[in-house]
Amino acid sequence: MNLLVDIGNTTIGIALYEQHVFIKKFIVSSEVDKAEDEYYLMFQTLTKDVEKTDIEHIFISSVVPILNRRIKNALFKIFNCQPIILGMGLKTGLSIKIDNPSELGSDLVCDAVGAINKYDSPIIIVDLGTATKILVIDKNKAFIGCSIAPGILMSALALTNKASQLPDFELSYPKNVIGKNTFESLKSGVVIGHGEMIKGICYQIEKQFDYKFIKVFTGGNSYAVKEYLLKSGFVYDENLLFEGLNVILNKNIGKEGNKYEK
Protein backbone atom coordinates (compact mmCIF):
# COMPACT_ATOMS: atom_id res chain seq x y z
CA MET A 1 0.00 0.00 0.00
CA ASN A 2 1.16 3.52 -0.80
CA LEU A 3 0.90 6.36 1.71
CA LEU A 4 0.87 9.72 -0.09
CA VAL A 5 1.34 13.07 1.62
CA ASP A 6 0.54 16.56 0.34
CA ILE A 7 2.15 19.26 2.50
CA GLY A 8 0.46 22.54 1.62
CA ASN A 9 0.48 26.02 3.10
CA THR A 10 -2.90 25.58 4.77
CA THR A 11 -3.44 21.82 5.12
CA ILE A 12 -1.61 18.51 5.04
CA GLY A 13 -3.38 15.68 3.25
CA ILE A 14 -2.58 12.00 3.69
CA ALA A 15 -4.03 9.45 1.24
CA LEU A 16 -3.82 5.68 1.07
CA TYR A 17 -3.69 3.86 -2.27
CA GLU A 18 -3.69 0.15 -3.01
CA GLN A 19 -1.73 0.20 -6.27
CA HIS A 20 -3.91 2.56 -8.39
CA VAL A 21 -7.02 2.44 -6.20
CA PHE A 22 -7.81 5.23 -3.74
CA ILE A 23 -8.70 3.88 -0.27
CA LYS A 24 -9.10 6.84 2.11
CA LYS A 25 -7.59 10.16 3.11
CA PHE A 26 -7.10 12.42 6.13
CA ILE A 27 -6.77 16.22 6.23
CA VAL A 28 -5.12 18.20 9.04
CA SER A 29 -3.91 21.78 9.47
CA SER A 30 -0.44 22.69 8.27
CA GLU A 31 1.36 24.38 11.17
CA VAL A 32 5.00 25.44 10.86
CA ASP A 33 5.30 25.87 14.64
CA LYS A 34 4.35 22.27 15.37
CA ALA A 35 7.22 20.04 16.52
CA GLU A 36 8.17 16.67 15.08
CA ASP A 37 6.80 14.82 18.11
CA GLU A 38 3.47 16.62 17.74
CA TYR A 39 3.21 15.53 14.11
CA TYR A 40 4.18 12.01 15.17
CA LEU A 41 1.32 11.87 17.68
CA MET A 42 -1.13 13.38 15.20
CA PHE A 43 -0.24 10.95 12.39
CA GLN A 44 -0.18 8.03 14.83
CA THR A 45 -3.74 8.84 15.88
CA LEU A 46 -4.99 9.42 12.33
CA THR A 47 -3.60 6.12 11.06
CA LYS A 48 -4.39 3.99 14.12
CA ASP A 49 -6.58 1.69 12.01
CA VAL A 50 -3.94 1.25 9.30
CA GLU A 51 -1.85 -1.91 9.50
CA LYS A 52 1.64 -0.40 9.71
CA THR A 53 3.35 -3.28 7.89
CA ASP A 54 1.00 -2.80 4.90
CA ILE A 55 2.69 0.51 4.00
CA GLU A 56 5.34 -0.21 1.37
CA HIS A 57 6.02 3.31 0.10
CA ILE A 58 5.64 6.83 1.48
CA PHE A 59 5.78 9.60 -1.12
CA ILE A 60 5.53 13.32 -0.32
CA SER A 61 4.68 16.42 -2.31
CA SER A 62 5.59 19.57 -0.38
CA VAL A 63 5.47 23.31 -0.91
CA VAL A 64 6.50 24.01 2.71
CA PRO A 65 10.18 22.96 2.92
CA ILE A 66 10.50 23.88 6.60
CA LEU A 67 8.15 21.01 7.47
CA ASN A 68 9.77 18.34 5.30
CA ARG A 69 12.25 16.90 7.80
CA ARG A 70 9.80 16.91 10.71
CA ILE A 71 7.11 15.11 8.76
CA LYS A 72 9.52 12.64 7.16
CA ASN A 73 10.93 11.70 10.55
CA ALA A 74 7.49 11.40 12.15
CA LEU A 75 6.24 9.09 9.40
CA PHE A 76 9.39 6.97 9.49
CA LYS A 77 8.96 6.41 13.23
CA ILE A 78 5.41 5.20 12.68
CA PHE A 79 5.81 3.01 9.59
CA ASN A 80 9.53 2.16 9.54
CA CYS A 81 9.48 3.12 5.86
CA GLN A 82 11.74 5.85 4.50
CA PRO A 83 9.62 8.67 2.97
CA ILE A 84 10.69 10.12 -0.38
CA ILE A 85 9.99 13.75 -1.31
CA LEU A 86 9.08 14.57 -4.90
CA GLY A 87 11.84 16.68 -6.40
CA MET A 88 14.54 16.95 -9.02
CA GLY A 89 15.87 13.58 -10.20
CA LEU A 90 12.60 11.69 -10.05
CA LYS A 91 10.69 10.74 -13.18
CA THR A 92 7.33 12.43 -13.67
CA GLY A 93 6.70 11.93 -17.38
CA LEU A 94 5.59 15.57 -17.61
CA SER A 95 6.94 17.82 -20.35
CA ILE A 96 7.40 21.27 -18.77
CA LYS A 97 7.70 24.15 -21.22
CA ILE A 98 8.09 27.24 -19.06
CA ASP A 99 10.99 29.67 -18.57
CA ASN A 100 12.37 27.92 -15.48
CA PRO A 101 10.96 24.39 -14.96
CA SER A 102 12.58 24.14 -11.53
CA GLU A 103 10.21 26.88 -10.30
CA LEU A 104 7.17 24.67 -10.82
CA GLY A 105 5.79 23.52 -7.45
CA SER A 106 5.45 19.80 -6.82
CA ASP A 107 1.71 20.24 -6.16
CA LEU A 108 1.22 21.63 -9.66
CA VAL A 109 3.31 18.83 -11.18
CA CYS A 110 1.05 16.31 -9.44
CA ASP A 111 -2.11 18.10 -10.61
CA ALA A 112 -0.85 18.07 -14.18
CA VAL A 113 0.24 14.42 -14.18
CA GLY A 114 -3.01 13.34 -12.56
CA ALA A 115 -5.11 15.28 -15.07
CA ILE A 116 -3.25 14.01 -18.14
CA ASN A 117 -3.38 10.44 -16.87
CA LYS A 118 -7.11 10.58 -16.11
CA TYR A 119 -8.59 13.02 -18.64
CA ASP A 120 -6.09 13.40 -21.50
CA SER A 121 -5.34 16.81 -23.06
CA PRO A 122 -5.64 19.68 -23.84
CA ILE A 123 -6.82 20.45 -20.34
CA ILE A 124 -7.10 23.37 -17.93
CA ILE A 125 -6.74 22.52 -14.23
CA VAL A 126 -8.02 24.93 -11.59
CA ASP A 127 -6.55 24.25 -8.14
CA LEU A 128 -8.34 26.25 -5.44
CA GLY A 129 -6.06 26.30 -2.43
CA THR A 130 -4.34 29.07 -0.50
CA ALA A 131 -3.89 30.56 -3.97
CA THR A 132 -6.05 29.79 -6.99
CA LYS A 133 -3.87 28.28 -9.70
CA ILE A 134 -5.06 27.83 -13.28
CA LEU A 135 -2.78 25.40 -15.13
CA VAL A 136 -2.64 24.87 -18.87
CA ILE A 137 -1.72 21.58 -20.58
CA ASP A 138 -1.62 21.82 -24.38
CA LYS A 139 -2.52 19.29 -27.10
CA ASN A 140 0.94 17.72 -26.80
CA LYS A 141 0.47 17.01 -23.07
CA ALA A 142 3.01 19.71 -22.17
CA PHE A 143 2.67 22.04 -19.18
CA ILE A 144 2.95 25.45 -20.84
CA GLY A 145 2.15 27.86 -18.01
CA CYS A 146 -0.37 28.99 -15.44
CA SER A 147 -2.19 31.90 -13.86
CA ILE A 148 -2.00 32.48 -10.10
CA ALA A 149 -4.48 34.59 -8.14
CA PRO A 150 -5.21 35.09 -4.43
CA GLY A 151 -7.30 32.21 -3.14
CA ILE A 152 -10.99 32.74 -2.44
CA LEU A 153 -10.55 32.38 1.34
CA MET A 154 -7.55 34.73 1.31
CA SER A 155 -9.59 37.28 -0.65
CA ALA A 156 -12.53 37.04 1.77
CA LEU A 157 -10.30 37.41 4.84
CA ALA A 158 -8.44 40.36 3.34
CA LEU A 159 -11.73 42.10 2.63
CA THR A 160 -13.30 41.63 6.07
CA ASN A 161 -10.04 42.34 7.93
CA LYS A 162 -9.46 45.61 6.13
CA ALA A 163 -13.04 46.87 6.20
CA SER A 164 -14.06 47.26 9.83
CA GLN A 165 -17.80 47.37 9.14
CA LEU A 166 -17.88 44.20 7.05
CA PRO A 167 -18.58 41.02 9.06
CA ASP A 168 -17.11 37.56 8.60
CA PHE A 169 -19.33 35.45 6.37
CA GLU A 170 -19.73 31.91 5.12
CA LEU A 171 -18.21 31.09 1.74
CA SER A 172 -21.23 29.55 0.06
CA TYR A 173 -23.08 30.03 -3.19
CA PRO A 174 -25.56 32.95 -2.87
CA LYS A 175 -29.21 32.73 -3.88
CA ASN A 176 -28.99 35.82 -6.09
CA VAL A 177 -26.33 37.74 -7.97
CA ILE A 178 -27.36 40.95 -6.20
CA GLY A 179 -27.58 40.63 -2.42
CA LYS A 180 -30.25 42.40 -0.39
CA ASN A 181 -28.22 42.32 2.82
CA THR A 182 -24.55 42.51 3.75
CA PHE A 183 -23.96 38.75 3.97
CA GLU A 184 -25.57 37.96 0.62
CA SER A 185 -23.79 40.90 -0.99
CA LEU A 186 -20.42 39.66 0.26
CA LYS A 187 -21.16 36.16 -0.98
CA SER A 188 -22.12 37.54 -4.37
CA GLY A 189 -18.99 39.61 -4.78
CA VAL A 190 -16.50 37.08 -3.43
CA VAL A 191 -17.99 33.73 -4.50
CA ILE A 192 -19.55 34.64 -7.83
CA GLY A 193 -16.71 37.06 -8.48
CA HIS A 194 -14.14 34.30 -7.96
CA GLY A 195 -16.10 31.91 -10.14
CA GLU A 196 -16.36 34.49 -12.91
CA MET A 197 -12.64 35.21 -12.64
CA ILE A 198 -11.92 31.51 -13.19
CA LYS A 199 -14.37 31.28 -16.09
CA GLY A 200 -13.01 34.47 -17.63
CA ILE A 201 -9.38 33.35 -17.56
CA CYS A 202 -10.36 29.96 -19.03
CA TYR A 203 -12.26 31.77 -21.80
CA GLN A 204 -9.19 33.90 -22.58
CA ILE A 205 -6.99 30.77 -22.68
CA GLU A 206 -9.30 29.08 -25.20
CA LYS A 207 -9.47 32.29 -27.21
CA GLN A 208 -5.67 32.52 -27.32
CA PHE A 209 -5.20 28.91 -28.48
CA ASP A 210 -8.33 28.78 -30.63
CA TYR A 211 -9.44 25.35 -29.43
CA LYS A 212 -11.48 23.91 -26.59
CA PHE A 213 -9.98 22.51 -23.39
CA ILE A 214 -11.27 19.99 -20.90
CA LYS A 215 -11.73 21.95 -17.66
CA VAL A 216 -11.20 20.34 -14.24
CA PHE A 217 -11.12 21.88 -10.78
CA THR A 218 -9.80 20.62 -7.46
CA GLY A 219 -8.37 21.87 -4.15
CA GLY A 220 -9.44 22.46 -0.58
CA ASN A 221 -11.41 25.65 -1.30
CA SER A 222 -13.34 24.18 -4.23
CA TYR A 223 -16.46 23.86 -2.08
CA ALA A 224 -17.10 27.59 -2.32
CA VAL A 225 -17.48 27.65 -6.11
CA LYS A 226 -18.27 23.98 -6.75
CA GLU A 227 -21.93 24.51 -7.64
CA TYR A 228 -21.07 27.49 -9.82
CA LEU A 229 -18.32 25.76 -11.81
CA LEU A 230 -20.23 22.49 -12.25
CA LYS A 231 -23.03 24.48 -13.88
CA SER A 232 -20.44 26.01 -16.20
CA GLY A 233 -19.14 22.72 -17.62
CA PHE A 234 -16.21 22.10 -15.30
CA VAL A 235 -15.47 18.64 -13.86
CA TYR A 236 -14.77 18.31 -10.14
CA ASP A 237 -11.98 15.95 -9.02
CA GLU A 238 -11.39 16.01 -5.28
CA ASN A 239 -8.27 13.80 -5.28
CA LEU A 240 -6.51 14.96 -8.45
CA LEU A 241 -3.23 15.83 -6.72
CA PHE A 242 -3.07 12.43 -5.03
CA GLU A 243 -3.86 10.71 -8.32
CA GLY A 244 -0.86 12.43 -9.89
CA LEU A 245 1.39 11.74 -6.91
CA ASN A 246 0.49 8.06 -7.06
CA VAL A 247 1.20 7.92 -10.81
CA ILE A 248 4.62 9.52 -10.25
CA LEU A 249 5.40 7.12 -7.41
CA ASN A 250 4.67 4.15 -9.64
CA LYS A 251 6.93 5.56 -12.36
CA ASN A 252 9.82 5.57 -9.87
CA ILE A 253 9.44 2.26 -8.04
CA GLY A 254 12.36 0.00 -8.89
CA LYS A 255 12.12 -3.61 -9.93
CA GLU A 256 12.50 -4.84 -6.36
CA GLY A 257 9.46 -2.75 -5.41
CA ASN A 258 11.21 -0.75 -2.70
CA LYS A 259 13.73 1.40 -4.52
CA TYR A 260 13.39 4.69 -6.33
CA GLU A 261 15.10 5.12 -9.66
CA LYS A 262 16.76 8.45 -10.29
* Strand 2-7 to 57-62 pairing: parallel
Q: Which residues pair with 124 in a beta bridge?
A: 136, 215
Amino acid 255: pLDDT = 36
Burial of 45 (0-12, 13-18, 19+ CB in 10 A): exposed
Amino acid 164: pLDDT = 64
- Give per-residue pLDDT as tens, 203-245: 999 999 999 999 999 999 999 999 999 999 999 999 999 999 9
- Give per-residue pLDDT as tens, 101-116: 989 999 999 999 999 9
Amino acid 187: pLDDT = 84
The order of strands in the sheet holding 214-218 is 95-96, 142-150, 131-137, 123-128, 214-218, 235-236
Is the pLDDT at 150 greater than 50, yes or no? yes
CA distance 4 to 261: 18
Amino acid 182: pLDDT = 83
Is the pLDDT at 175 greater than 70, yes or no? yes
Helix (H, G, I), strand (E, B) or coil at 90: coil
Mean pLDDT of 132-160: 93
Percent above pLDDT 70 for the chain: 95
CA distance 68 to 7: 8
Is the pLDDT at 165 greater than 90, yes or no? no
Catalytic residue among 107, 111, 127, 237: 107
What DSSP designation does 257 have? S
- Could you give the residue ranges of the DSSP H alpha helices within the chain? 36-46, 68-79, 106-119, 152-162, 182-187, 193-209, 226-230, 240-252
**Is there a catalytic annotation at residue 107?**
yes
Burial of 74 (0-12, 13-18, 19+ CB in 10 A): buried
Note whether 223 and 130 are within 8 A (CB): no
Q: What is the pTM of this model?
A: 0.89
Work out the mean pLDDT of the chain and round it to a whole number.
91
Amino acid 167: pLDDT = 65
Q: Which residues contact 133 (CB under 8 A, 6 or more apart)?
A: 108, 111, 125, 126, 127, 146, 147, 148
**Other beta carbons within 10 Å of 134:** 21
Buried b (16+ CB within 10 A) or exposed e, 150-187: ebbbbbbeeebeeeeeeeebebebbeeeebeeebbbbb
